[in-house]
Amino acid sequence: MPRTQTQSPSLTHVQMQAPKQTQSRARRGHSRTWVRTLRAAARPLARLVCFPHSGGSTASYAHWAAALPPAVELLAVQYPGRGDRFAEEPGSVRLMAAAVAAELAGTSGNITAPAPLALFGHSLGALVAYETALALRDAGREPAHLLVSGSAAPHDVRGGGLHLAEDTELWETVTGLGGFEAEVADDAELRDLLLPTLRADLTANETYRPHPAAGLLSCPVRCYFGRRDPLVDGARLAGWGYVTDGPFTLIPRPGGHFYADDGTGTAGLVPDVLAALSGEPVPVAQSV
């Protein structure tokens, strides 16, 4: 494990953006691209690719655009089962990562302008981002940075049975984390519409296991977590340092699992992400 710089599964906002039933039928069987541009840069100095949590979508990161400088291109991953991919079945963490890596490596899609690549993922997104980093490494395109948030380290993932729970239990557990507004959490029709995709995301998260011979990354890894997050054990998150032989930094943030979703959380997180991308020193936070 590299030297740690101490600065001292994944649930959701309702961002699946379900289309009307007629629209989803029309799109059935049609695969959209995985990586969407939220804000383009003609000559980017860095490209930040964001991976949503379970139930999240590209909309999870739309508000980051205003906080980033113009030279940072902002992209986000659209998983199957939401938005214009609502009719598609979500897949495993590794399968999703392989598809994303293919687009980022230029074997499909149109993301070809050269720029240092950074991956940021929250909760389920942290695991998909990690597997994407491995796939890019194997293709000779390892990212410059891996930034993860709100997830146990790959070799410390302990599974879980929430994806097997009865609908009401699953819904109440998820909404209890604070990722839903009250009027959404209490909407039975919307719940029935969103539950299948949410359950599929949770299945991908809770059944994920890393490949035993994955090997190490060489890029810096930065791990964020909310101090009051009931889904992660901050004392065990140093395990993310074992996925790389590069620098590792562990950074606690105020709040719970969705610590970055309000304006205050984003205002604190995004500048730290930018500092990491630029290599600037970041003030040391209090111990975990």
Name the active-site residue from 53, 122, 145, 257. 257
Question: Is 57 annotated in the active site?
Answer: no
Name the active-site residue from 60, 123, 149, 151. 123
Taking the C-alpha atoms of residue 37 and residue 204, their distance in angstroms, rounded to an integer, is 24
- DSSP letter at 244 equals B
Q: Supply 182's token pair.
A: 């009250």
Question: Is 123 annotated in the active site?
Answer: yes
1 in Cβ contact with 152 (< 8 Å)? no
- 232-239: list long-range contacts, CB under 8 Å, 24+ apart: 232/150, 232/151, 232/152, 232/257, 233/152, 234/288, 235/288, 236/152, 236/153, 236/156, 237/152, 237/153, 237/288, 238/4, 238/153, 239/152, 239/153, 239/155, 239/156
| Residues contacting 126, CB < 8 A, separation 6+ | 10, 51, 148, 149, 150, 151
68: left (phi over 0), alpha (psi -120 to 50) or beta: beta
What residues act catalytically?
123, 257
